[in-house]
Amino acid sequence: MHALQLLFRASPAVLLLVLCLQLGISTAQEDTTSRRAIILDMEMPQAARAGEEVTLKLNVQTELRECMVIKTYLRSSKPIDGSFNYRYTSCLCGDYPKNFYWDFQTSSTVQVEAVVNAVRELGICPNDDAVIPISADIFWITGTLDIY
């Protein structure tokens, strides 16, 4: 009975410690939810001449601590042949952003979309400990190439 009374008599210092720990845990949980799984940056000329070869560069990075396997490819509003249709598979980790390049030609104005899928595939990332984001696994960015 005496031990039970000690449990109910918490000193102000203990109550303050519990409060601080609770606030610290809440802040830590908020920090992890604000991390972005995929960050995309696409560089492509805004205009080109018909038949001129242009280079599209896609920079992909993550704010997650874990690595993930990604598949990257392009889509367009009009059919484009050649290296435009190449698909890349890579391991993306927070410390190592990836750059992907496509060279292509077109004879008319086209809208281009770079797509990144987070996928489950073994043998790409070290130790096969890659993750897949819970909220979304497909990310994209869009640009337009005007042909004159």
Instruction: Return the CATH number at 127.
Output: 2.60.40.10
In a domain, 7, yes or no: no
More confident site: 131 or 70: 70
pLDDT score at 128: 75
Q: What is the pLDDT of residue 44?
A: 98
In-domain check, residue 72: yes
Is 9 within a domain? no
What is the band of 12 on the pLDDT scale with cuts at 50, 70, 90?
A: low
In tens, the pLDDT along 113-138 reads 999 999 999 999 987 778 888 878 99
pTM exceeds cut of 0.85: no
DSSP 72-87: EEEEESS---GGGG--
Residue 94, domain member (yes or no)? yes
Domain ranges, residue 87: 39-147
Q: Is 75 part of any domain?
A: yes
Whole-number pLDDT of residue 100: 98
> How distant is the alpha carbon of residue 137 from its chain centre?
9
Task: With cut-offs at 50, 70 and 90, classify the pLDDT of residue 28.
Answer: very low
Distance of CA 141 to the CA centre of its chain: 12
Q: Is residue 134 part of a domain?
A: yes
- Domain count for the chain, please give it: 1
Q: Would 10 be classed as within a structural domain?
A: no
Domain for residue 139, yes or no? yes
Tell me: pLDDT of 60 over 50. yes
- Average pLDDT, rounded, for the chain: 86
Distances (CA, A) of 91 to 5, 10, 25, 37, 65: 57, 51, 31, 13, 13
Would you place residue 54 in the very low, low, confident or very high pLDDT band (cuts 50, 70, 90)?
Answer: very high
